[in-house]
Amino acid sequence: MKATLPLLKDESCHFAADEVFFSTTDARGVITSGNEVFVRISGYQAEELIGRAHNVVRHPDMPRSAFRLVWSFLKAGKPVAALVKNRAKDGRYYWVVALIAPTAEGGYLSVRFKPTGRLFAAVQGLYAEMVAEERRVRETAGDENAAMAAGEAVLTAYLQGSGRPDYETFMQELLCEELKARDETLLREKRRIIRTIAGQPGGARAGSHLVALYGDGCRAYEHLNVLYRRLDDFVAVHAALENKSSFVNNLTRELRLASMNVALASSRLGSGGAGLGVISHYMGASSVEVAAAVRILSDGIHTVSARLRAVIFNLAAARLQIEMVLGFIHELVVAPPAAEQRQQRHALVHTLHGAFAAALGRASEALHELEERAVGLNATSTDLGRHMLGLEVAQLGGVIESTRLVEQEKFGAVFAEIRGQIERTHRELSGLSDALERLGSLAKETPIIAREIETAAERMETDLAELAA
C-alpha cells in the first residue's frame, strides 16, 4: 500500500551552513543509508527511510524534468550537482545543493548542504516556470514524457539566455559558487568545518584506527584547501579564455569581409585597380591561412576551457566530499554506533572516501591534461600571430597602392580599418598569451600540492583497511 504523504507547509526546516549530510541508494534509487543530519532534517526515523525510494522526500515544487536530467548524468557514470527542494515528514520544505555521484558499490551517493549563493533565487523562479509548463502539457496532452520535454525546453531557454551552452556548464558554476558563498557564511558566523575529536565521550570507544583516519583526513583537507583557494585563479583564467574565444571566432568573419570589400572595389576600377587586385588576392590567401589557424585556436581554447571547468568542478567536489568524510567520522566518534551497526557504519566511511578519491582523481587527470593542452595552445596562438604578419604586409601594400588612386580617401579608410583589426588581434593574442602563461604557472604549481593530497588520501586508505580488519 502506498504511504500517505504529508500535507505541505509553507515553512522551511532549519539547518546550519556547516551541516553537511548524505544518503546512499541502490541503482534503483532506493535508500540504503544516511547520516544523523539527514534523518533529523527529513523528520523520519532511520528505519522509515531505509528501503524506501528516495522520492519519499521529493517536493512537488520540483520539476520532474530536473530529475530526469539528473538521472541522465548518473546513468552515464558522471557526477551531477543540482539545487533541490525536498519535503520533510511533517510537510515542511528544505532546499539543498546536492552533489550526486555513482559509487563503487553500484549505487549512488548524494552529499548535500545549505544553499546561500547568488544562483539560488534564479533557480527557484526557473523551477516554478518548469513546473507550470510541465503541468500545462500534462493536463492538455496527458503525456508525461511530453510534459518533461516541455520542462527541459524551459531550462534550455534559460541556459541559452544566460550564455551557458548546457546544463553541465551551469552545474559546474553552481557548485563552485555555492561552496564559495557557504565559506563566506561560515566565516561570518564563525563556524568551523574541522572539529576536534579529542575529549569526545565516544573517542575511546571509537578506536585508534578511526581516530587516525580522522587525523589523516584533516591533513588531506588542509592540503586540498591550499589548492581549493586557487580556484579563483582558475576561474579568472577561464573567463579570460572565454573572452578571447569570442574575439577569435569573430576575427575570421571580419577579415574575410574586409578582403571582399577590397576585391569588389578593385574590380570596379578595372585595369586601374590591377595593383589593388593583386593585393586583394594576397589578402584573400592570407585570410584563408588565418581562418585555418583561427579554427585550430578556437578548438584548442574550447578544449582547454572544458578542462578548466572540469578542474574547478572536481576540486570543489573533492573539497565537499572530504568534508563529508570528516563530518561522518566526527558523528561516529561523538555517538558511536551499537556493536551490530558498527561494521555497516564503518563501511559507509569507505564509500564516502571512495567518492572523495574519485573526485580527486578526476581533478588530477584534468590538471595533467590541462598542462599539456596549454603548451599546445600557446604554440597555436604563436602560429596565428605569424599568419597575421602576412596580412600586415598586404595592408601596408594596400595603403601605398591606394595613394595612386583617385579614390585615395575611400581606400585609405578601408585599409585603416584592416590595420585596426590587425592591431586588435595582436592585443588580444598578447592577452591570450598572458592568460596561458598564468594557466601554465597554475598547472605547474598544482601537481606538487596534489601529490600531498594524494599521499594523505593513501594514508586514509591504509587506515580504512585497518579499520575493516
Provide the CATH number for the domain around residue 408: 1.20.1170
| Residue ranges making up the domain that contains 110 | 21-116
Residues 328 and 266 in one domain: yes
- Joined together, the cell numbers standing for residue 37 give 543530519
Predicted pLDDT of residue 22: 97
Type of residue numbered 311:
V
Predicted pLDDT of residue 1: 41
Predicted pLDDT of residue 407: 58
Domain boundary among the residues 89, 116, 143 is at: 116
Which element (helix H / strand E) includes 22?
strand 21-25
Residues 101 and 156 in one domain: no
- Counting runs of H as helices and runs of E as strands, what totals does the chain give? 12, 5
Residues 248 and 297 in one domain: yes
Q: Could you give the strand order of the β-sheet that contains 21-25, starting from the edge strand earlier in sequence?
A: 31-34, 21-25, 108-113, 93-102, 80-87
The arithmetic mean of pLDDT across residues 450-466, rounded, is: 86
Residues 258 and 394 in one domain: yes
Q: Tell me how far apart the alpha carbons of residues 213 and 466 are, in angstroms, rounded to a whole number.
A: 10
Domain boundary among the residues 116, 151, 171 is at: 116
Q: How confident is the model at residue 254 (pLDDT cuts 50, 70, 90)?
A: low
Least confident among 6-10, 77-81, 281-285? 281-285
* Contact assessment for residue 228 and residue 315, using Cβ atoms and an 8 Å cutoff: yes
Residues 235 and 150 in one domain: no
CB burial readout 277-308, b (16+ within 10 A) else e = bebbebbbebbebbeebbebbbebbeebbbbb
Q: Tell me how far apart the alpha carbons of residues 183 and 225 are, in angstroms, rounded to a whole number.
A: 11
Least confident among 42-56, 352-366, 388-402? 388-402
Q: How confident is the model at residue 37 (pLDDT cuts 50, 70, 90)?
A: very high
Residues 232 and 338 in one domain: yes
- Is 204's pLDDT higher than 60? no
For the chain, what percent of residues have pLDDT higher than 90? Answer: 44
In the beta sheet, which residues pair with residue 195? Answer: none
Domain boundary among the residues 91, 116, 141 is at: 116
Q: What is the total count of domains within the chain?
A: 3
Residues 230 and 327 in one domain: yes
Q: Tell me how far apart the alpha carbons of residues 258 and 284 are, in angstroms, rounded to a whole number.
A: 9
Q: Tell me how far apart the alpha carbons of residues 314 and 298 are, in angstroms, rounded to a whole number.
A: 24
Over the stretch 80-106, which tens digit does the pLDDT of each residue have?
999 999 999 999 999 999 999 999 989
- 3-class DSSP assignment, residue 81: strand
Residues 238 and 338 in one domain: yes
* pTM of the predicted protein model: 0.84
In the beta sheet, which residues pair with residue 111? Answer: 22, 99
Backbone Cα Rg of the chain: 29
